[in-house]
Amino acid sequence: MVLWIFGALFCGNFLLISLFATENVYDEYKFVEITARHKRDLQLLSQLYTEDNVDFVRKARSIGQKAVIFANPSDFSIISQKLQNAGANFESKDVSFDTNDREKRSIATAPLQYQQKTMKTGTMSNYTLDEYHDLSEQMAFIESIAQRNPSFVKMGTMGKSFQGKSIQYLKIGYPINQTKPIFFIDAGIHAREWIAPAVALWITNELTNSTKYASLLRQIDIIIAPNLNPDGYTHTRKGYRMWRKNLTPQPNQCFGVDLNRNFPFYYGFSGTESNSCSEIYKGPKAASEPETQALKNFLDNNKQQIKAYITLHSYGQNWVYPWGYAVKTYPPDVQDLIDLGNAAQKAIAQVRGTQYSVENSADGMYPAAGASDDYAKSLGIKYVYTVELAPSEDDLRYDFNLPANQILSTSTEKSRGISLQGFIAFALVAILILVNTGFQIADHVYLRDNLKKSDSPSNPSTQPNNLETPTTGFNGLPNVTSAPPTTCQPPPLPKCENTCEFYLCESIPDGMNLDKPNNSTTQCWLKLLDLAKNNVKIGSYYWTLLKEDDKDLPANFSDPNNSAQDGKDVYDGIIATAKRNIQVQIAQNLDLSLSSTMTYEATDMEKLSSNIKVRSLDFSKLLGAGFLLFKNLIIFGIIHTKSWSIDSTHFYVGSANFDWRSLRQVKELGILGVNCPCIAQDVEKILDTYWDLGLPDAKVPTTWPESRWVPARHGNPYTVPQPQTDLDVYISSAPPDFNACGRENDIDAMVKVIDESTSFVHLAVMDYIPATLYLKSNYYYSALDDAIRRAAFRGVKVKFMMSKWSHTSFQFFGYLHSMASLNGSLPCTWAVQYTTCKPGTQGEIEVRIFEIPPDGDITDKVYARVQHNKYFVTESTLYIGTSNWSADYWLNTAGIGVIVRADNAQETAKIVRQTQDVFMRDWDSEYATDISHYDNRGNRIDPTATL
């Protein structure tokens, strides 16, 4: 299925000849069959695939299987010599496709059999479904279906091929002009995979000629595009049976682009080639081909309605789900894809006993970046699959050349599965449904059962405008937004005082064997209260500083080390501060859960002193979006900030919640600024924004008043004088809707800091996923993930550390394995879509998992004993934030980030060095373990064990 390795001159001459030759073009070609007898044979085949660019029509994935290579005359001698040198067991067979006597050839001697009929103009009465047909016959057939059934079938054109052929589709549904959920099927993107268009046409005929689908077609529309590559398919019908690509001419006289490597999602990442003579040539740029553009535009324009997408290919009998751009990389809703794939597998087996495997595209087959299925999934389409049709990989009689007499059996298998998929499309917008196979499918909701202390943002709408897949650049990767908005002029930078002192504030759980060079979070918070003279402003998620206020603890819970004392000290300190006639202003999240006491503690403090005022932010009104989740409860975004501003002079921003556990039983990191009016006033504007939005009838304004505008951002930071070297500092914030003129969006700040790194970037966080995590429908959002990979492509050394506890989602580990798999294997040819790539660079991306052991009754099951940090540090810059790293936090949850770097590029600020030391202490500790010791679901494994 893969590559031809021709010399450039030979490739160009051969392909120019092949486009105009008439017969026997493969007479000197060879099929090379290799039996994988040993592990070294599999390694050799992998090398031929990845390094020598040969065209595999069959791959051996385990010992005992046969691989088949389609070799041109030039390559055959090279390949056979390599196989001989390696002691491989192989044999070669001549390839001869007789295109002039097709109907006379038997299946035994010619697995390429197809029958060609001459049709009468304007009639399709003699169109038979058990034959392979020319493109003109296929298009005439679907046109006749549309003409016969105008009430529920409509023919349309997606676009044109390079040669000007129309890319047609049929829309099938009652009534034809009503907008309904769409189930989309396409076929034929690879020209030589003849069975795919044949099956698509069989499905079309079945849906339009049987009343048993009438009820289904009143609920959904089914759109079928039977041939996405009309130029290439026509070429295969002229005798060039193994042609795969389209027919666009390339600069070096080779022809064609692999359309299924040309889509703008992780374009060129892996499993593609820049050599235009290759069978998997990705094209000169993303979406360069008119055929790609046609499908891309159709999906873009209909992504809200498309609930399921299947692209038909051959061969292998596989039901394949994304992602395909890298191994061990999965969408957040991968279990839903597996469940539905298994249901389809069962349905297919019930028809004729045919077995289809359900597997990930890259893991089960091979990485293939820029494919249509990955692109469709990146748009937020729920159920996306590539279906590799018959024959199976174990059927050695055929490959792409399935006999025409097997079309109907293959189609019957697929129609059974397709019917199931159609019902699922309906289920997504209606109710739980029992499909005709008796398999019940539910639409899963990815939200943890307990929102209180899992640090999970509540859910916004299933389809909010700001949660679509971000706008993509030329390479299909999300663009970061620019700040400030062009419609405002931020105020000028003030001159900052030379009195500012920065401190790290750490919570290290009791019993951990870690040095403690920094102030504790408790010490930092109590210092702020001691410094207060006029007012204390706090932004918070929830409040359980007192252990007795926590109703979720078991009745027999014990705390022998009295670790809850720090929480009581802070609680008492706030009350004492208020009694000193100091105003305490608390903005917190409105707790919508039915049993939690998240907001009660703060409001109880309000009753103890008239100087304490509390407001709770109702995100259901502020963002205007939500959906029914469970127990008749509507869940929305949250305020996830943990920040202080004291007298417009001192500030704190960090990961620690106002929870007794966060002070002695959860690992936290924050930054304290003392005598820093410039920065404190900036933070205060965010806290005042929360305060204003806590009013009962508050609304997020279209334009924020100038009192909320800020001068400092990336590229224009505050300059804070320090004894050794001045510091550049600015504050970022989320969600974007809360940000006034001049404010840097939190995710943009993170990406820009990483993009500026030159030596290393060290990252530590509790949760990480390049997608939305808490939505009913998941959206891919890879801005931070792409920045990390870009850094590696530049030669920057990356260390990434994520927490694991009982509330960690298994979804995180696939992405981390994908990141770790790039370690030491990043040739620049993989990174052509990035702006810079250091030639010869071997990327260094290490990933470790940080686990904290229990402390008696205090375990992670009571929402303790976890690394809760949200920070990263480069050779020059630190970022400390309040949000976990998923799209939900950056786009519709309130959070704050602090960015600090030395003004002099030759110096490293003390606070930055201290942050570097904290990371390396944890990285080298007994609590950090390499990702290779965990499987894709986060289970501990022995990486040395034989699979």
DSSP string, 598-658: TTHHHHHHHHH-TTEEEEEE-HHHHT---EEEETTEEE---B---EEEETTTEEEEES--E
The packing angle between helices 407-429 and 195-208, to 10°, is 60
Dist CA 582 CA 573 (whole Å): 12
Distances (CA, A) of 138 to 100, 199, 309: 21, 12, 22
Dist CA 753 CA 734 (whole Å): 16
Residue tagged 């299947």 (tokens): 310
> Where are the strands (E) in 741-794, listed by range?
744-745, 760-765
Task: Find residue 273's DSSP bridge partners.
Answer: 281
* CA angle at 76 for the pair 70 and 81, rounded to the nearest 5°: 125
**294 CB neighbour count, 10 Å cutoff:** 22
Determine which helix (DSSP H) or strand (DSSP E) holds 873, and give its type and residue range.
strand 870-874
CB 417 within 8 A of CB 344: yes
For residue 538, what are its two tokens?
């706090």
CB 681 within 8 A of CB 566: no
CB 881 within 8 A of CB 653: yes
Which of 768, 615, 754, 641 lies closest to 694, judged by CA? 615
Dist CA 932 CA 849 (whole Å): 10
For residue 726, what are its two tokens?
């001045």
DSSP string, 531-585: H-SSEEEEE-S-EE-SGGG-TTS-TT---TT-TTHHHHHHHHHHHHHHHTT-EEE
Dist CA 291 CA 301 (whole Å): 16
| 91 in catalytic set | no
429 DSSP 8-state letter: H
* CA angle at 391 for the pair 389 and 393, rounded to the nearest 5°: 105
Dist CA 328 CA 323 (whole Å): 8
For residue 910, what are its two tokens?
């003390």
The overall longest dimension of the chain from CA atoms, in Å, is 101
Residue type, 629: L
Task: Find residue 56's DSSP bridge partners.
Answer: 69
CB 686 within 8 A of CB 648: no
Q: Judging by DSSP bridges, how do beta strands 870-874 and 844-850 pair with one another? A: unpaired
Three-class DSSP category at 420: helix
Residue tagged 């390696």 (tokens): 86
The packing angle between helices 39-50 and 73-85, to 10°, is 150
Catalytic residue among 137, 388, 413, 684: 388
Three-class DSSP category at 894: strand
Catalytic residues: 388
